[in-house]
A and B are shown apart, each in its own frame.
Chain A
Amino acid sequence: MSLQASRRRRQTLFRHVVVGVIGLFFALPMVAMLEFTTRAPGGGRSLDTWATLLDVGAVERDYPELMTGLIASAGLAVLTVAIMLLLLVPTMTWVRLRLPGLRRTVEFICLLPLTIPAIVLVVGLAPVYAWVTYFFGESSVWLCFAYVVLVLPYAYRALDAGLSAIDVRTLAEAARSLGASWFTVMWRVILPNIRTAVLLSAFLSVALVLGEFTIASLLNRDNLQVAINLLGKRDASISIAVSFAALLVAFLVLFAMSFVGNGRRARRSKES
């Protein structure tokens, strides 16, 4: 008992120190951004920039592109996460179970989007998107196809870590031997066990979509970051304030997402 207690105390100290130091490192640039947005013309502090930003009516009137960009990005986030999960989870599970020889290929393909900078990838995506525009139209929402590809490296790594932590083969065989269909295996056996990994891969996807600028800009489509960039051309203080606000909104979205389906897990680990 005392061994456990002393270990727990050490862990708590470790946790506080590590989170404190790294948290400070994360916070400093944020403070710098806030500091710039609250500068008053003659020195001293002023909340004018934030007041302008929070006047939603004025924002809608003066910066309509911010609204369209926000809506486009929201739609993109939902579509990207959906397509990514539909593509990756079944494929990775299937490869682990039945096609282990393909694992390296899938891994390389999932790393490929990250090896090529977005500015070059767009050169290759442009002809593909000419066809996408032909079939689907010109809405920014169809950028989701490119975004799923951009998200693959991160989502693959998170899901792989989650799948490595559970014994996929045994779970699947046990379920199959009890008569479950493949769909049931995926949905009711594998998925609940990789909940953290799925959630984190969704996190990364949402954050990526909300922060993506290069591909949307080079294909002349609207999204949140393109709108922020355009906004920033008019007023430096507002652009930094909007970027900070976008980070805050993304944080709140992810924080809310962390409550999805986490209740059961907390109860389960108390037992173990």
Chain B
Amino acid sequence: MNRSSHRRVGAAAVVAATLVGIAACSPPSKTAGDSGASGGTADKAGTATSAADVGGMDALVAAAKKEGTLNVIALPPDWANYGEVIKAFQAKYGLKVDSAQPDASSADEITAAKNLKGQSKAPDVFDLSSAVATANTSMFAPYKSAKFGEVPANLKDPNGTWVNDYGGFMSIGYDAKLPAVTTVSDLLKPQFKGKVALNGDPTKAGAGFSGVVMAAIAQGGSPDDISKGVDFFSQLKAAGNFLPVDPTPATIESGQTPVVIDWDYLNVAQGAKLKGKVDWKTVVPPNAAVGGYYVQAINKDAPHPAAARLWQEFLYSDEGQNLWLKGGARPVREEAMVKAGTIDKAAHDALPTTEGAPVVLTQAQTDKAAEYLKVNWAKAIG
């Protein structure tokens, strides 16, 4: 009996090792044949760094149409008006856009690309925060869209591996039934008891992180020292004003989270959507305009390479940029388009006003702040 149980354990160990070994290898790639490719154009699209490499814009459109689908990830419809962007893209080129995991974080996008590598449902394109993008450049395929040259040099990688796409400022969105909010300190008033929510934990989500930075700067801190921001939220918690609930369109509409600290384009979009139900106002605190851009990139192993590149062409065209503007986000080609007069004037004028110089954290400042939050955030609001 003893010997057989030893043999059993040994057999189990061998089986376990084999299984892990098999799991570690990926299956033979079958997908080479099924991305609607017939050798020539698909291979070209897979390594194209500009439309010229594929044979011009028309050839790119034709190749994309042959692929038929574009996989996007982490694009909620009310985030910078992505709902309309996707619809417009589908209508213009007749492609189907498969939008997966709208709630995913930037890190989840990269994980999905790794998990689904080689399958036809892997994401083709990414929309990431700068930190995640700079950490994963090995996963991107460089591509320069037609308007690449009009993007300011500090907002793109010179090879086109990644390009900023749109940005905004941190803001406070609130129900107009509450007393008007002009600065961050207003939120400490007793009328805001149990009403203030932050979009995401600052140690997990970019929006939450920038919210704390905004509070820090509004309270007299600096990009190098965000401790005043953490202290502010600590006070907010002590006063009973801070709600740890995750703010969603449902919680805003139902009145569960009457004050939300979030990107201005998200708050503006909520305001537009809830017209007639909730009067939602958006304000960027004076002299605390914390800005942040998101970054666009193409998956190196995209199952639909031509469609991915066509998507980039669309996003950086005047039409794409103006659609983002309509959602309250500031498109990266804003300067160039204002000069050329191609910007959507009405939407541009409707953007929330900001006072004071915009503050954008450098990578070093971001890392320092992240470390500080890692150690102190849970304690501060616990």
Chain A interfacial positions (CB closer than 8 Å to B): 36, 39, 41, 122-124, 126-128, 130-131, 133-134, 138, 217-221, 229-230, 232-237, 239-240
Contacts and interface: CB of A to CB of B under 8 A. Distances in A.
B103 interface: yes
A239 B254 CA distance: 13
A108 B312 CA distance: 50
Contacts of B249: 232-233, 235-236
Interface string B255-292: 00000000000000000000011000000000000000
A24 B380 CA distance: 37
B115 interface: yes
Given A220-B101, A233-B76, A234-B83, A134 B28 contact: yes
B30 A218 contact: no
A130 B26 contact: yes
B78 A126 contact: no
A143 B73 CA distance: 20
Nearest to A134: B27
B225 interface: no
Nearest to B112: A220
Given A127-B23, A131-B27, A134-B27, A229 B112 contact: no
A130 B254 contact: no
Given A130-B26, A134-B27, A229-B103, A236 B248 contact: yes
B116 A232 contact: no
A127 B254 contact: no
Interface residues of B, number: 39
Given A122-B115, A134-B28, A233 B121 contact: no
A218 B74 CA distance: 11
Contacts of B102: 229-230, 233
Contacts of B77: 233-234
Contacts of A221: 121
B254 A236 contact: yes
The A interface is mostly helix, strand or loop, or mixed, namely helix
A130 B253 contact: no
Contacts, number: 77
B253 to A, nearest CB: 5
A230 B97 CA distance: 13
28 contacts: A41-B276, A123-B115, A126-B115, A127-B24, A130-B27, A130-B117, A130-B119, A131-B22, A131-B23, A133-B119, A138-B120, A138-B121, A217-B101, A218-B108, A218-B111, A218-B112, A220-B71, A220-B101, A221-B121, A229-B102, A230-B99, A230-B102, A233-B77, A234-B77, A236-B248, A236-B252, A236-B253, A236-B254
A192 to B, nearest CB: 34
B100 interface: yes
Contacts of A138: 119-121
Given A138-B121, A218-B101, A220-B112, A127 B253 contact: no
Given A41-B276, A230-B99, A126 B30 contact: no
B24 A130 contact: no
Given A39-B254, A134-B27, 13 more contacts: A128-B23, A130-B117, A134-B28, A134-B30, A218-B108, A220-B73, A220-B123, A230-B102, A233-B77, A234-B83, A236-B253, A236-B254, A240-B250
Contacts of A232: 249-250
A218 B115 contact: yes
Nearest to A235: B249
A126 B116 contact: yes
A67 to B, nearest CB: 15
A130 B103 contact: no
A218 B114 CA distance: 11
Nearest to B114: A126
Contact of A220 (B27, B76, B116, B252): B116
